[in-house]
């Protein structure tokens, strides 16, 4: 049992309150004027978190990286974890109903993946497959598939991918807002929205967060959390360049299980190695820490220094 979700009875009560919160409010508050005393003593709506600390109910998540890095595998792992209420890569979640809108691969290919991914949840997880026939900016709420999704009352909707949702100018700063607002107009403010986004190809050591987006960084500006995936020695390096609702959750190295296609934290995740190094050498210097981490894990110098900022107390 997930410690954060406590007992089954408490889960039921929590989910009942969660549904009530979703009906009465969202992450947005109707525009009003508040005095300082009112803000100090009043209680504004505070929705629960779908993923503890970094994805609120009704929030938005951008999951991005270059083609072939494993975004869809990470997204389907996320979807199943949410549907079952089990931890996602070590992060606690709230059991949720999930709709996965797959428009970046053929229905036959997605079906084949589902057959291989036997660990996918049999409950609370639904896929929308097939051609949309029109861009999301031209989609009407009356269309059958949109009505079916809304009838399910999902807690989370995953869009795979952004590039198949619209034909607008990627370089225009207004494009992300148009796409995000249209998604909200179709599915309301209650569900959390997760968008997968393909970025330009970059060499791992030359990656620049701002340059890593196709078009404007406005794709990131309107979301609560942005997760960046990069290739790392045959695995996936996951980081959080944006985290509006919490401190930086830190980086992880992930790997795709070739048999189940499930995404897991890699056994040789440098974060684990860094923690073990500090436990064994609590007084290690920053210089020695970086050198040992680079030698043992093969991480870049910049990443080793990032880990040193998190774990090393002494600067000498």
pLDDT band at residue 201 using 50, 70 and 90 as cut-offs: low
CB 166 within 8 A of CB 135: yes
Residue range 268-273: average pLDDT?
76
Alpha carbon distance 179, 183 (integer Å) = 6
How confident is the model at residue 69, as a pLDDT? 94
| pTM score above 0.75 | yes
Percentage of the chain beyond pLDDT 70 is 84
Alpha carbon distance 1, 8 (integer Å) = 9
Length of the chain: 316
Q: At what angle do helices 286-297 and 301-311 cross, to 10 degrees?
A: 130
Residue burial 126-151, b: 16+ Cβ < 10 Å; e: rest: bbbbeebeeebeebeeeeeebeebbe
Tokens of 87: 């931890």
Domains and their CATH numbers in the chain: 48-265 (3.40.50.300), 270-311 (no CATH)
Element (H or E) spanning 38, and its range? Answer: helix 36-41
CA neighbor of 58 nearest in space, from 69, 66, 50: 50
Percentage of the chain beyond pLDDT 90 is 45
Tokens of 241: 């360049």
How confident is the model at residue 313, as a pLDDT? 61
pLDDT band at residue 28 using 50, 70 and 90 as cut-offs: low
How confident is the model at residue 178, as a pLDDT? 93
Residue range 30-47: average pLDDT?
79
Write down the mean pLDDT value for the chain: 82
Alpha carbon distance 4, 280 (integer Å) = 30
pLDDT band at residue 111 using 50, 70 and 90 as cut-offs: very high
How confident is the model at residue 96, as a pLDDT? 96
């Amino acid at each position: 049992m997930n410690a954060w979700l406590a007992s089954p009875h408490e889960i039921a009560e929590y989910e009942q309150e969660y549904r009530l919160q979703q009906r009465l409010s969202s992450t947005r508050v109707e525009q009003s004027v508040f005095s300082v005393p009112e803000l100090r003593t009043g209680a504004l709506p505070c929705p629960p978190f779908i993923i503890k600390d970094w994805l609120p109910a009704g929030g938005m998540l951008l999951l991005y990286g270059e083609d072939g890095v494993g975004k869809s595998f990470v997204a389907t792992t996320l979807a199943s974890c949410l549907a079952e209420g089990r931890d996602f890569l070590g992060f606690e979640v709230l059991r949720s109903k999930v709709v996965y809108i797959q428009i970046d691969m053929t229905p036959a290919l997605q079906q084949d993946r589902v057959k291989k991914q036997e660990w996918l949840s049999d409950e609370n997880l639904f896929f929308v497959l097939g051609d949309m026939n029109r861009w999301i900016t031209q989609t009407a709420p009356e269309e059958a598939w949109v009505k079916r999704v809304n009838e399910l009352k999902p807690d989370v909707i995953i869009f795979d991918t952004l590039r198949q949702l619209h034909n607008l100018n990627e370089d225009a700063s207004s494009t992300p807002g148009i796409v995000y607002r249209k998604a909200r107009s179709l599915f309301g403010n209650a569900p959390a929205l997760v968008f997968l986004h393909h970025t330009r190809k970059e060499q791992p050591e030359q990656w620049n967060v701002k340059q890593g987006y196709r078009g404007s960084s406005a794709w990131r500006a309107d979301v609560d959390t942005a997760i960046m995936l990069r290739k790392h020695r045959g695995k996936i390096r996951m980081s959080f360049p944006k985290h509006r609702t919490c401190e930086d959750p830190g980086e992880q190295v992930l790997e795709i299980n070739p048999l189940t296609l499930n995404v897991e934290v890699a056994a040789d995740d440098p974060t684990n190695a860094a923690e073990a190094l500090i436990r064994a050498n609590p007084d290690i210097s920053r210089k020695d820490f970086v050198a040992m981490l680079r030698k043992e894990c093969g991480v870049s110098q910049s990443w080793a220094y990032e880990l040193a900022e998190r774990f090393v107390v002494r600067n000498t």
